[in-house]
Structure 1
């Protein structure tokens, strides 16, 4: 199972296109835990694709290397 690290890595994760042409994070372990003040936003973002937020990185990047304004969430299937 994909899981975040203990804290956000110095090198932010970036969206890439995986082998099956689905967009994925290049380094899931670069995420730290979801902070309490980001829980609601993580729930909102990940639930749009029927997933749950397990990680957050304040400097996560889109596929063009541009920082997401509000950081990025690592979303995984609900248990």
Structure 2
């Protein structure tokens, strides 16, 4: 973050989220349906997993320290 502060770089994280227990159940059911040659039903189960996917994002901004706070930070670092 210190290096990014100098360049005023912003970082964004995007996460794909699914309900874990329901996803595991649906994927297991789809696997059993595939083993039973019920491909259409398995496809529907897997589609329900895909439809439950949600996206969340987080943005981090590293901004340069102001001139007033820079000497304070430098002096406190020297007294460690």
Shared fold (TM-score greater than 0.5)? no
Relative to its length, the structure with more strand (as a share) is 1
Larger-Rg structure: 2
TM-score (norm 1): 0.20
Q: Which of structures 1 and 2 has the larger relative contact order (alpha carbons within 8 angstroms, sep 6+)? A: 2
